[in-house]
Amino acid sequence: MGRRIRYSRPKAALPEKLLEFLCTRFSYLSRDEWIKHLAAGHLSVVSASDSNAVTTSGEYVLRQNDEIYFNPPRELEPDVDEYIHVVHEDDAVIVCVKNGNLPVAEGGRYSGNTLVGLLERRDAVSFVSEKYSAARQKRDRTREEDGDAGVSVHKVPASYYPIHRLDKETTGLVVLAKQLAAARALSTQFEKQSERITAQLSKRTDPAGDGLSTAVFEKLLAEEKVVTKVYVAVLAGAAPEGADFVMCDRIGLLFDSLWNEGDTEDAKKHNKLKKLKMACFPVNLKENPKRHGRPAASRVRIISSDKKLGVSVARVDILTGRTHQIRIHCAQLGYPVLGDKLYETTTPGVAGGCCAVPDDTYIARAKGNEGLVSAAAPRLRVKRHLLHAAVLSFLHPITGSV
Q: What is the CATH number of the domain that holds 327?
A: 3.30.2350
**Residues ≥6 apart with Cβ < 8 Å to 206:** 285
The number of domains in the chain is 3
Determine, yes or no, domain membership for 139.
no
The better pLDDT of the pair 145, 105 is held by: 105
Residue-by-residue DSSP string for 29-76: S-HHHHHHHHHTT-EEEE-SS-TT-EE--TTPBP-TT-EEEE---GGG
Give the torsion sign (CA, 295, 265, 34, 362).
negative
* Domain shared by 297 and 163, yes or no: no
Task: Look up the pTM and report it.
Answer: 0.84
Determine, yes or no, domain membership for 254.
yes
**Residues ≥6 apart with Cβ < 8 Å to 209:** 283, 284, 285, 286, 287
* Domain shared by 99 and 242, yes or no: no
Q: What pLDDT, on a 0 to 100 scale, did the predictor assign at position 223?
A: 80
Ranking 43-47, 113-117, 175-179, 210-214 by mean pLDDT, the lowest is: 210-214
* Domain shared by 65 and 82, yes or no: no
CATH at residue 119:
3.30.2350.10
* Domain shared by 57 and 160, yes or no: no
Relative to beta strand 298-306, strand 244-247 is antiparallel
User: Which of 47, 72, 97 lies at the terminal end of a domain, its last residue?
Assistant: 72
Q: Do 280 and 330 meet the contact criterion of CB atoms below 8 Å apart?
A: no
CATH at residue 27:
3.10.290.10
Q: What pLDDT, on a 0 to 100 scale, did the predictor assign at position 402?
A: 77
* Domain shared by 158 and 173, yes or no: yes
pLDDT, tens digit, 9 for 90 and up, residues 201-211: 888 876 666 77
Determine, yes or no, domain membership for 200.
no
* Domain shared by 20 and 64, yes or no: yes
* Domain shared by 347 and 305, yes or no: yes
Task: State yes or no: pLDDT of 117 exceeds 60.
Answer: yes
Q: Strand pairing partners for 397?
A: none
Distances (CA, A) of 56 to 29, 109, 191: 18, 20, 39
Determine, yes or no, domain membership for 149.
no
pLDDT, tens digit, 9 for 90 and up, residues 39-83: 999 999 999 988 888 999 999 999 999 999 998 888 888 899 999
Q: Do 356 and 271 meet the contact criterion of CB atoms below 8 Å apart?
A: no
Determine, yes or no, domain membership for 187.
no
Burial class (CB in 10 A: 0-12, 13-18, 19+), 182: buried
Task: State yes or no: pLDDT of 153 exceeds 50.
Answer: no
* Domain shared by 297 and 389, yes or no: yes
Confidence of residue 151 (pLDDT cuts 50, 70, 90): very low
User: Which of 55, 72, 89 lies at the terminal end of a domain, its last residue?
Assistant: 72
Q: Do 65 and 149 meet the contact criterion of CB atoms below 8 Å apart?
A: no
* Domain shared by 51 and 124, yes or no: no
Task: State yes or no: pLDDT of 281 exceeds 60.
Answer: yes
* Domain shared by 266 and 384, yes or no: yes
* Domain shared by 344 and 310, yes or no: yes
Q: Do 376 and 331 meet the contact criterion of CB atoms below 8 Å apart?
A: no
Task: State yes or no: pLDDT of 147 exceeds 60.
Answer: no
Determine, yes or no, domain membership for 324.
yes
Determine, yes or no, domain membership for 244.
yes
Determine, yes or no, domain membership for 399.
no
Domain span at 224: 206-393
* Domain shared by 48 and 91, yes or no: no
User: Which of 72, 90, 122 lies at the terminal end of a domain, its last residue?
Assistant: 72
Q: How many CB atoms lie within 10 A of CB 388?
A: 18
Nearest to 249 by CA among 137, 363, 327: 327
* Average pLDDT of span 1-16: 86
Q: Longest Cα pair distance anywhere in the chain, in angstroms?
A: 85
